[in-house]
Chain A
């Protein structure tokens, strides 16, 4: 199998994070071409034509999002979401730590297309090296005339700033992110209005994921036809999948969309640990329902994964094998949402506490049969009743685990503990 990489194509180039090395590998050529050959509206049209969809989780068409900006002469902002914290997802970290100039170039091109004059990178607080890499890359770009006034001698000017979060998953949600960027607590805002109309400082704002924006330089270089030649009609192009859990080669892999899940796990990630079999897969980050072993042929494009009952989400693929206790794994993920609930609305704040309590009690053999119905009941009272999508996100794995592995929950109750005697980690493995 030959693996073709685009956004990750330079991952083995030494010092690609330095501007001269980046330039020596065609860096900033796409930007030069953009400013010379394209009007902003032509670029928006090209992105629409490419079918590029947001890689932050929801898969919203990027060109369409850009088209929502009102034409009212106000200052426009581009905000890049680098708050990556969805368990199982680690692609944006690699993109910013290893090749920050690719993102910076993508931001300049995207700002030109959307006529934004100020851009911000909201960088997760834990990404200390990532923020340092970005700051240095931004400074180098200023020094080389790619940022600031009259970029490359044109009429286009752009300021780009790096802003650090301080530890809060909810700040990945775009409206909470904007609150945080304005120096407030990261509570989500009521929508509408959407950021396109009233975003940062009340101005028209585009919020895009790091990976989304990193697609821009190659899109300009190779054209929209290159993008639509991969994937499906509705899900064209490439996606970086982060594979972790019980596989031989965890890592980031860039796949043409619609690549089967089995290919990703077996061929890219080296398959399960020898002697083990796959029990379930979380294909798109901790918020999405489980896929079962008989669904491994599911093509990884947005529509096919939804049809299989899950979501492609952020592309964080966590593989669980036959030694993993589903109850323990579910408890661990739901606990994450309890920790990260911002507390603004009751169903999420109280519900995630309650579900975690019950799950941990069942996991440790102190559960009752009625606890399983209690879990479903609490889940029902969260579903669709929360202020922002985090509440619903806490249910994806839980509800599907209760559906596919109810017997394991029941066995924990009947046997007063884990029938496999399993801890999440077993020493045999290492």
Chain B
């Protein structure tokens, strides 16, 4: 457990004192630093929140943006919703898989990228749309796959 996590837990509980409302804000904050939530992290969070480990694990596993595997430095979400599919998102995904030499759901061996599918990202006017570390990029035509990967983004 990192020392600052205790401070963060306290701050989350001050902002959301009722029920377990501090849990998800704390998980978000730790994941932003760590990149993912390991079993050890989940156990630490459980201790900080005074909750059973199984409870925290059950919450983490429900939400697709809480990652239980190490993530690449750049997490690329490609929207595969209908409006994006109509504009070429499957081809975009395919190009990205080829460029990175991985399949959707995987990370590159050097830890630089993780490639994931996203459901409709509520930006269908920018179809086909992607997010890099949850920052929107779009429209990204399938031919612009390389450019998407070199996109400068904050972590």
Contacts and interface: CB of A to CB of B under 8 A. Distances in A.
Contact of B82 (A250, A332, A430): A332
A89 B125 CA distance: 9
Contact of B134 (A85, A126, A324): A126
Interface stretch (A108-116, A159-167, A346-354, A409-417): A159-167
B66 interface: yes
Contacts of A329: 82, 85-86
B33 to A, nearest CB: 15
A377 B38 CA distance: 43
B120 A88 contact: yes
Nearest to B81: A87
Interface in A81-110: 84-90, 92-93
Contacts of B63: 125, 165-168, 186
A117 to B, nearest CB: 13
A199 to B, nearest CB: 12
Interface string B122-144: 11110100010111100001000
A423 interface: yes
Interface stretch (A30-38, A176-184, A299-307): A176-184
B85 A332 contact: yes
Contact of A250 (B23, B80, B121, B125): B125
A340 interface: yes
B123 A250 contact: no
Contacts of A182: 18-21
A332 to B, nearest CB: 5
B122 A425 contact: no
Interface stretch (B1-9, B24-32, B97-105, B106-114): B24-32
Nearest to A202: B19
A185 B55 CA distance: 9
B43 interface: no
Q: How large is the interface on B (under 10, 10 to 19, 20 to 34, 35 or more residues)?
A: 35 or more
A126 B121 CA distance: 7
Contact of A161 (B15, B135, B136): B15
Given A250-B127, A430-B88, A164 B83 contact: no
Contacts of A328: 85
Contact of B122 (A89, A161, A167): A89
A244 B124 contact: yes
Complex A-B, nearest 9 residue pairs according to Cβ-Cβ distance, in ascending order: A183-B20, A166-B63, A167-B65, A244-B124, A167-B64, A87-B120, A128-B134, A183-B23, A425-B88
Given A126-B121, A425-B87, 14 more contacts: A85-B120, A89-B122, A127-B122, A128-B135, A163-B21, A164-B28, A165-B24, A168-B63, A182-B21, A183-B22, A244-B125, A318-B82, A318-B83, A425-B91
Interface of B: 15-16, 18-25, 27-28, 58-59, 62-66, 77, 80-83, 85-91, 118-125, 127, 131, 133-136, 141
